[in-house]
Amino acid sequence: MAEELTAPAVACEEDAPQLSVRDLSLRFGRGCPACQGAASELAGNVCPACGTVHAVRAVSLEVYPGEIVGIVGESGSGKSSLMRCVYFDEQATGGDVRALPFDGGARNLLELSPQRKRAVRNQVFGMVYQNPHLGLRMGFSSLSNIAEAMIASGERNVGAMRARGEGLLERVSIPLARATCPPRVFSGGMQQRVQIAKALSANPPILLLDEVTTGLDLSVQAAVLDLILDIRRSFNVSMLVVSHDLGVIRMLADRTLVMLSGRVVEQGLTDQILEDPQHPYTQKLVSSLL
Amino acid sequence: MQQRYNFAFFDEASKREIRRAVLKGVCIPGYQVPFASREMPIGRGWGTGGLQITLSLIGRDDVLKVIDQGADDSVNAVNIKKLVCDTTDVDVTDDTARATLIQSRHRIPEQPLTSKQILVLQVPTPEPLRTFEPSEAATRVLHAEADYTGAWLELFDQIVAYDTTVTGADHPVVVNGRYVMAPSPIPRFDNLKLDQAENLTLFGAGREKKIYAVPPHTSVRPLDFEDYPFVRERFEGVRCALCGAEGVFFDELEDEATGEVRYQCNDTAFCAARRAQQRAHGVAPDDAAPEGAPDVVPSTASDAASDGSAPDAEPGEAPGEREVR
C-alpha cells in the first residue's frame, strides 16, 4: 500500500500530461437553453425542460506520465461514458482530448478522421473493459487476440508476433499451453488477464481500465490489481482507472476524481479524498465504505 | 428458343441494371457493388449471381461454356447451360478456347484465358471479413477505411492453430493494392491466375446481392505473412491417370475396394482435349512428354500442329515451382 501511494505525483507535475481532457461532454438529446450552460441545474443528469440526458458534463482531467488517475462514482454517474468517449467507443458531443504520445498533443483527438482514430486506439491506448466479451474476440485464440493490434499497426511477421504474445501471456500468468485456446474456454479471471495482455500488446503509453476487477472473486481481484501495479512499475504506463469500488481506487490511484450525475464534484490526492471528503456525496460514499 | 421469354430470360431493364453494377465493379476493382439480385428459376446458392451476370452480358454471337468444379457435364453446369440455351439459342461449347463467356464455380480453366474472353464466377460469400465481423454496416466501414486487420487476423489464427493457413479455397487477395476480396471458392492454386490476367473476371453473389470484378491487367496479391508466404496446393510428382498432364489441379480418386489412389485433371475439358490430341497423334498417355499446363494449349488445330514439335518442358524442374509467378 505505502509503496503505491508514494508514487510521486508531485515529481510528475514537471512533465507535461500524457493525456489531457478538457470540457468533455456527452449528451443524448438536442438540449435546450435551460440545460446548455455548464452550471445549469438538472434533475440528476436529465434536463427537466427538454428531457435531454447529460451523461458527461464538461469534465476535465489530466493524466501524467506513470500516474494512475481513478474515477469513482455510483452507477449512472457517467464515469464509463467518459472512458468510452476517450476511447472513441462513444462519439462525444463536445470537448477536447489530447494525447502527448500521439502527436505531441497538437490536435484534438475527437476531431481526427476515423482512420486516425483507429490508429490512436491501436497505438496510444490500451483498453480493458469490465466485460471481457467487449474487449476480446472469443472465437480467436488468445495469441491472435494479442496479435490483433500488432497486425493493425502493420506487423506482418508471425514469429515476432507469436514471441511477443507468448511473452505477454507469461507476464499475466497464463500458461503457454493455453496460448492457442480461445478465451471462450477460459474462466472470467483468465479472460480478464488475457484482455490485459491484449491491451498491452502494442506497448501503449496510456491504459484505460474500466471496472477491471468487478465481478471477479477476491483472490483473483488481488492478482489482477497486483498485475496492474506491476505493469505500471515496469512499463511506466499512465492509467485512467474507472471503478465504483473505493477499495480498488485506494489501492491503485494516485489521484481521484469523484463523479456524480455527469459532473466531477470533487478531486484530489486519493488519500485526501478518502480521509477528508468535502462533498456530501463523497462523504456518503466514504462512510458507506467504512 | 422458347419465345415466351425475352432474349436471355430477363427484361432489358433488369439486364441494364445488372450491367450497371458490373461496370461500377470494373471501375473499382475488388469493390463489392450491391445490386438488385433477381428471383431466378434456380435456387439462390446454386449460382444465381453468376447466372444473372451471364444473362445480362450474353449476346447472340457469344459462345458459352459453363463449368462446375472443373467439369462441363456436372448437373449444375448442365442445367445452367440448358436455361441459357433455351432463352437465347447461343452456341454452347466445352472448348475453353472457343468460348467467349465462361461461367464457372470453384475453378479457373487450366488454359490461360485471353482478352476476348470473360470469366464469370459464382460466389457464395463475397465478404472476406464476414467471419470476423458479422455486421454488413460494420464491414462496409472497414472496407471504406481499408482496415483489413480481420482478414489478416484470420490467417494468423490459422497459423497459430495449425502452423499453416488452412484456406482450402477462397484465400483472400488484395486487388489493385486497395480492396481485399474473396476470390470466390477457387482453390489457392487458381489465385495467382487472377494476377495480371488477360481476361476480365466478374464475380456474382446472388444470395448476398453483390457483384465485383477484376479487370484485365490488374494486380491481385494473396494475403500472406513474411515468414509464412502464400503457397499453392502442391502436386509434386503427380500425373493425370488419363492424359498424363502435370502441374495442373488434380482430383484425388480413391478406389474403395483396393485402396489405390489415382489422380485426374480436375479441368475435364482440358483433359479431354489432351486425350483427343494424343489419340490423333497415336501417343499413349504414359509416353506423353511431361509438359506443364501453360506450355500445352491443346484445343485448336494450330496448337495441335505445334504441339508435336514443342517438347520444351525442362524435365528436371518441379512443376509446382515452375508455375509460381
Give pLDDT, residue A36.
76
Give pLDDT, residue B294.
44
Dist CA A99 CA A86 (whole Å): 10
Dist CA B186 CA B291 (whole Å): 23
A156 touches chain B (CB under 8 A): yes
Find cell 490430341 and name the residue: B277
Contact at CB, B145 and A118, closer than 8 angstroms? yes
Asked if B25 contacts B137 with a C-beta cutoff of 8 angstroms, the reply is: no
User: Taking Cα atoms as reference points, which of B169, B177, B168 lies closest to residue B195?
Assistant: B177
Give pLDDT, residue A217.
80
- Tens of pLDDT along A180-223? 999 999 998 899 999 999 998 888 999 999 988 887 788 878 88
Contact at CB, B160 and A151, closer than 8 angstroms? no
Asked if B49 contacts B184 with a C-beta cutoff of 8 angstroms, the reply is: no
| DSSP-derived 3-state class of residue A85 | helix
Contact at CB, A148 and B141, closer than 8 angstroms? no
Reading the block at residue A225, the C-alpha cell is 490489481
Dist CA A38 CA B320 (whole Å): 71
Asked if B211 contacts B23 with a C-beta cutoff of 8 angstroms, the reply is: no
User: Closest Cα of chain B to A192: distance in Å?
Assistant: 20
Which element (helix H / strand E) includes A256? Answer: strand A255-260
Percent residues over pLDDT 70 in chain A: 94
| DSSP-derived 3-state class of residue B102 | strand
User: Taking Cα atoms as reference points, which of A210, A198, A14, A22 lies closest to residue A99?
Assistant: A22
Chain B environment of A151 (Cβ under 8 Å): 149, 152-153, 156
User: Taking Cα atoms as reference points, which of B10, B25, B2 lies closest to residue B176?
Assistant: B25
User: Closest Cα of chain A to B162: distance in Å?
Assistant: 10
Give pLDDT, residue B262.
92
Q: Count CB pairs under 8 A between chains A and B.
A: 47
E-state strands within A107-185: 125-128
Give pLDDT, residue A223.
83
B160 touches chain A (CB under 8 A): yes
Q: What is the pTM of this model?
A: 0.81
User: Closest Cα of chain A to B149: distance in Å?
Assistant: 5
Dist CA B80 CA A62 (whole Å): 67
User: Closest Cα of chain A to B159: distance in Å?
Assistant: 8
CA-based R_g, chain B, Å: 20
- Tens of pLDDT along A154-166? 899 999 999 999 9
- Tens of pLDDT along A225-257? 988 898 898 888 999 999 988 889 999 999 999
Residues making up chain B, counted from first to last? 325
Dist CA B198 CA B216 (whole Å): 5
Dist CA B306 CA B244 (whole Å): 18
Dist CA A36 CA B62 (whole Å): 68
Among chain A residues, the shortest Cα distance to B164 is held by A158
Contact at CB, B147 and A148, closer than 8 angstroms? no
Contact at CB, A144 and B153, closer than 8 angstroms? yes
Residues of chain B with pLDDT under 50: 288-325
Reading the block at residue B213, the C-alpha cell is 470484378
- Tens of pLDDT along B213-247? 999 999 999 999 999 999 998 888 999 999 999 99
Q: What are phi and psi of B151, to 5 degrees?
A: -65, -40
Which residues, in sequence order, are CB contacts of A280 under 8 Å at separation 6+? none
B145 touches chain A (CB under 8 A): yes
Q: How confident is the model at residue A7 (pLDDT cuts 50, 70, 90)?
A: very low
Give pLDDT, residue A290.
53
Chain A environment of B178 (Cβ under 8 Å): none
CA-based R_g, chain A, Å: 19
B227 touches chain A (CB under 8 A): yes
Q: How far is CA B276 from CA A9, B73, B112, in A?
A: 86, 17, 19
Q: How confident is the model at residue A5 (pLDDT cuts 50, 70, 90)?
A: very low
Q: What positions of B carry a catalytic annotation?
A: 30, 240, 243, 265, 271
Dist CA B201 CA B118 (whole Å): 6
Q: CA A25: distance to chain centroid?
A: 17
Q: Is the pLDDT of residue A8 over 70?
A: no
Q: Which of A137, A151, A169 to mutate: most B Cβ within 10 Å?
A: A151
- Tens of pLDDT along B153-194? 999 999 999 999 988 889 999 999 999 999 989 999 999 999
Dist CA B27 CA A241 (whole Å): 49
Q: How confident is the model at residue A9 (pLDDT cuts 50, 70, 90)?
A: very low
Asked if B169 contacts B188 with a C-beta cutoff of 8 angstroms, the reply is: yes
User: Taking Cα atoms as reference points, which of A80, A98, A106, A114 lies closest to residue A206?
Assistant: A98
